Chains A and B, each alone.
Chain A
Amino acid sequence: MDWSVLLVQATMNGLIIGLLYLLMAVGFTLVFGVMRMVNFAHGEFYMLGAVTVYFFTGVFHLPFLVSVALTFFGAIALGALMEWLILQPFRRDELNGMIVTVGLAMILQNVALIIVGPDPLSMPAVAEGTLQLGSIVVPNSRVYVVGFALLVLALLYIFLRYSRPGRALRAVVEDFEIASIQGIRARIYYPLGFGLGVGLASIAGALMAPIFSVSPFVGAAPLLKAFIVVVLGGLGSIPGAAFAGLVLGLCESYASLFFDSSTADMFIFAVVMSMLVLRPKGLLGRGEA
């Protein structure tokens, strides 16, 4: 087979995966930036997004875009509520708060198992047909997914950059102490940060549901990836998470052309450990070690 075709195909796949990692990682770093807490339940929100979208489209027969939007806002609301109800007492106790998110993850996954069962479900296709780009063939469904993902990112960018709550949120993420001195109120921004963070995870799950399968177990891998990306990009850096997400997606895609996956995975974890020890701020981040 022609190398250039393989390469372009790998690039396309890499970008799609990269977008997924980006969404997961930005959400994860948002939660870390606002709450200084590692959210071990992040993967389960991805899973919830996938399962919810499956129900909306498969059972209630709503259009895909509507389902995704509902999932997104539902997740934000659910996340904010959980932060307010469950995580609030741990706002100054990140270590125990982290263990609480472990408990949360257990609950979410097993509730899903009870409702949906362990077997993978496949979603009805988002769109039929394929798109021809030169010698590359891309299924339309993937095109739609990429399109929606880019739309979400654009909206997120506008929110974080141009809206007051968005800018305040960024301020909290980028420098927590200065933000609290300036009186940005924790009462609003903790639930908002957590809600938006897990909302992004849910949207990643929702968007990827048509591409990958849907089951209560799909959350574990994205959690690991989010975590890797965020460390590489810098805990607490939104642009770092975005950049590192795309880079990781592309690297993995190219690497799969040459290496087998477990060697690549080991290498990545070794890099993660080294980063945490040598440069916890990540490649671009500015968070304190």
Chain B
Amino acid sequence: MTSLLSNVIPQERKNWFWLAVLAVIAIWPWFSGIFVLHLAILTCLNILIVNGLSIIGRCGQRSFGHAAFAAIGAYGSVLLATLANWNILLSGLAGMVLSAFVSFLLGWVILRLKGVYFVLVTFSFGELTRLALLDWSELTGGANGIANIAPATIMGFVFDTRPRFYGLALAAALLSIWLMKKLFSSHFGHAIDAVSDNPALAESTGLSVHKIQLVAFVLGSSLAALGGVLLARYIGYISPESFNTSASIAFITMFVIGGQRSIWGPLVGAVVLTPLPELFRGAVQTQNIFYGVALILILRFMPGGLVSMMDWLKSFRKARP
């Protein structure tokens, strides 16, 4: 079944080949060692979080403080689980609701800022959150963070081994991708694109730019919060440094390198960049130089990100007789 107006609106066509490739990549970690599973879990969580960033990005805004919402989700859910003895479903939901509330208030005020100014405010918000987490140490443990976080338990099933948690993380990542697909083929998704392409025109056709951006911002931040909730249950430890500016910048990097204007961008960005440290085997500096160079080259020569390269390859294959 094709989605709404498929012959009117250009759709990304399902290419069974790529889906098969993805399926293999998704299943492979269960047949590999613990380390591959570890990377796969982190990749899935990154996919989830960067999808959130990309919803905000599709509105034309770049959030340089995205990790702050992962932090709110993580700390919120962990504190509620420990203090109020709530299970993961309840505490996770509460963490997301808390993050949604904060992002609603923040977004209400800052979304009318454009471009660079929005970046600076979100950057400041990220720093502010980190400092707050450090400062309110009776609650958050300060610089020491919170350790010994209990693993996620859903209806008796405990996600305390890597293979099990990978299932959870993979489900969350796939859910977020499904959400993106649904969202951007819906009326609201097209409205988001309209708002980012020509806000004055969109407003004059009856679309409330402010409301649309706000909903997108809250939605995107909630996905980050979910990522934080899961990260806390996986690593078992969170600290303010888990969600600092470097993390926000890493998310932006994945977003840009993967593809800023595509549903698959975050997936590609996360898949390519998360396991990369392994290739560099401890030469962290060389790895970071590579990130920096890749970022600049992509922005310069392939602003659509790696995803656009795949489109180019696909069209090349089709063009051959």
Interface residues of A, Cβ cutoff 8 Å to B: 36-38, 86, 89-90, 94-96, 98-100, 102-107, 109-111, 113-114, 224, 227, 231, 262-263, 265-266, 269-270, 272-273, 276-277, 280, 289
Residue in chain B with minimal CB distance to A263? B135
Task: Give CA–CA (A89, B132) in the complex, Å.
Answer: 39
What total of A-B pairs shows CB separation below 8 Å? 106
**In the complex, what residues of A have CB within 8 A of residue B294's CB?**
103
Interface of B is mostly: helix
**In the complex, what residues of A have CB within 8 A of residue B291's CB?**
103, 106
Task: Give CA–CA (A262, B62) in the complex, Å.
Answer: 27
CB-contacts of B293-313 with A (<8 A): 293-296, 299-300, 303
**In the complex, what residues of A have CB within 8 A of residue B285's CB?**
110-111, 113-114
Question: Could you give, for residues 110-122 of chain B, a 1 whenever the CB lies within 8 Å of some chain A CB and a 0 otherwise?
Answer: 1001011101110
Task: Give CA–CA (A151, B303) in the complex, Å.
Answer: 44
Task: Give CA–CA (A273, B120) in the complex, Å.
Answer: 8
Task: Give CA–CA (A94, B117) in the complex, Å.
Answer: 11
Task: Give CA–CA (A269, B294) in the complex, Å.
Answer: 31
Number of B interface residues in the complex (CB < 8 A): 37
CB-contacts of B265-295 with A (<8 A): 284-286, 288-289, 291-295
Point out the residue from B116, B252, B284 that lies within 8 Å of A37, measured CB to CB. Answer: B116
Decide yes or no whether B153 CB sits under 8 A from chain A. no
CB-contacts of B101-148 with A (<8 A): 109-110, 113, 115-117, 119-121, 123-125, 127-128, 131-132, 134-135
B269, chain A: closest CB distance, angstroms = 13
CB-contacts of B75-112 with A (<8 A): 109-110
Point out the residue from B115, B131, B132, B299 that lies within 8 Å of A100, measured CB to CB. Answer: B299
Interface residues of B, Cβ cutoff 8 Å to A: 62, 109-110, 113, 115-117, 119-121, 123-125, 127-128, 131-132, 134-135, 249, 252-253, 256, 284-286, 288-289, 291-296, 299-300, 303
**In the complex, what residues of B have CB within 8 A of residue A86's CB?**
296, 300
**In the complex, what residues of B have CB within 8 A of residue A102's CB?**
249, 252-253, 292, 295
Contact of A224 with B288 at beta-carbon distance under 8 Å, contacts A98-B119, A231-B120, A276-B121 already known: no
When the two chains form their complex, are residues B135 and A99 in contact, meaning their CB atoms are under 8 A apart?
no
**In the complex, what residues of B have CB within 8 A of residue A114's CB?**
285-286
When the two chains form their complex, are residues B289 and A110 in contact, meaning their CB atoms are under 8 A apart?
yes
Task: Give CA–CA (A38, B264) in the complex, Å.
Answer: 28
Residue in chain B with minimal CB distance to A118? B285
**In the complex, what residues of B have CB within 8 A of residue A289's CB?**
113, 117
Task: Give CA–CA (A96, B57) in the complex, Å.
Answer: 12
Contact of A103 with B116 at beta-carbon distance under 8 Å, contacts A96-B303, A109-B288 already known: no
B85, chain A: closest CB distance, angstroms = 30
B264, chain A: closest CB distance, angstroms = 20
